[in-house]
A and B are shown apart, each in its own frame.
Chain A
Amino acid sequence: MDYRNTLTTCTYCGCGCNFFLESLDGKLTGTIPCKTSPVNEGKLCIKGWNVHQFVQSERRLKQPLLRKNGELTEVSWEEALAFTASKLKEIKEANGSDAIGFFASAKVTNEENYLMQKFARAAIGTNNVDHCARL
């Protein structure tokens, strides 16, 4: 019998709410907002309250998908990255840097978002950088 509450930080936005991911025998059973956290003081929004559901969701993507003959097919990271890089290059050469846009995410870290905009500006050469939370 292994009941645990693992203290962690919400990945949904930049607020940084703390909660416990409650697990029983290795399976997530719930989210409990941390009352002693100075950030959220035992409160959460509806997204935070449901974090435990996406972690072990069957619909969660675990492998990159590539559309082959009209169907999404699981491929290796290597293949996915090679395909993306070659397509980006192709589009840039044919239509210019501004034919490409980048969407950052609230669900990744600041550092990852920084790297993405850096890649957009320095490697691709476009200022077309936006964010999912603006949609």
Chain B
Amino acid sequence: MIDRVKEKINELLSEGSVKGVVALVTANGHVAPCLFQKGDDLDTLCLGDTEKSGDARYPLNRVLCTIARQYPDDVFGVLVRGCDERGLYGLYRLNQLEPDKVVPIGIPCPESLAQACECKKPYPDDIVAGEKFEGISQQGVEDMDNKDLSTRFSFWMDQFSKCVKCYGCRNICPMCFCRECSLECEDLVSKGDLPVDIPVFHLTRAMHMADRCIDCGLCEEACPSDIPLRLLYKKTAEIMNTEFGFTSGINKNEKSPLSLMGPAPEK
């Protein structure tokens, strides 16, 4: 699969249809986000798999946004999995990237990663190489829903109380780009205090991610306290889907229910 990806990137770069490609590189024994440009050695390119598949994924769309902000007129390629592609659709909708300035290079996730993520759509619409594996049902959310209210409440309060307020969930998030963040608004979250205001901190973030979260799971991987953030956002996404028929990034030109006025749209 990786050879076909390299071939594709080489094609894009040498024909000059993109200025650079945001992907991953193995260097110094570590995996890092990288911008490949014309003439760069693609041998070191990698797909973010080390010991397990997808265990060294990075927020490439976030990197792309950083570069595109500085070079708005150039076209860039970006390596995308299913979640990253949902992210791109979301970032187009939120005016952070322009669709005609982005060339996605899509790869599907293998079964093991799809299972571990309980991913609804572990493949992008446009696949450059690899076999796609079908979506997985949200067992984690269902298991949690089957517990009674007080069990769930104490579970989440215990989890939230572990928070060390590193803001890692926000910082790593490819869908977080606000210049002013509610999590730094002193009316909601007091400055300097630990433990963090619970559950306000985590629920504020969950609310803000309701129409953005693309279920990439990078927040949970970045959490030093192992708070099951992904489960929380999966539940939020489920509510968005049940109430408004909306799933973040699943369709290219979808509008967010949070940007509509009036009655709920047809499901």
User: Residues of A at under 8 Å CB distance from B?
Assistant: 1, 3, 5, 7, 18, 20, 22, 24-25, 29-37, 42-46, 48-49
With contacts A32-B33, A32-B58, A35-B31 taken as known, whether A49 is within 8 angstroms of B171 at the C-beta atoms is yes
Contacts of A42 in B (CB 8 A): 221-222
| Interface pair B50/A36, CB less than 8 Å apart | yes
> Contacts A5-B32, A36-B50, A37-B30 known; A22 to B66 CB distance under 8 Å?
yes
**A13 nearest CB across to chain B (Å):** 14
**A45 and B225 alpha carbons, distance in the complex (Å):** 10
| Contact status A1-B20, CB under 8 Å | yes
If A24-B70, A42-B221 touch, whether A1 touches B19 (CB-CB below 8 Å) is yes
User: How far is A3 from B20 in the complex, measured between Cα atoms in Å?
Assistant: 10
List the B side residues contacting A7 at CB < 8 Å. Answer: 27-28, 30, 32
Contact check, A49 vs B166: say whether CB atoms are below 8 A apart.
yes
Contact size class for B? 20 to 34
- Say yes or no: B29 contacts A36, CB within 8 Å: yes
Which single residue of chain A is at the shortest CB-CB distance from B171?
A49
Closest residue of chain B to A40 (Cβ to Cβ) is B224
In the bound complex, do residue A45 and residue B164 qualify as a contact, i.e. CB atoms below 8 Å apart? yes
Q: How far is the CB of B16 from chain A (nearest CB, A)?
A: 14
B29–A49 CB distance below 8 A: no
Interface 0/1 of B94-117, CB less than 8 Å to A: 000000000000000000000000
Contact B63 A22, beta carbon cutoff 8 Å: yes
Of the candidates B27, B58, B224, the one whose C-beta lies within 8 Å of that of A45 is: B224
Determine how close the nearest CB of chain B comes to the CB of A19; give it in whole angstroms. 10
Interface residues of B in 1-31 (CB under 8 A from A): 19-20, 27-31
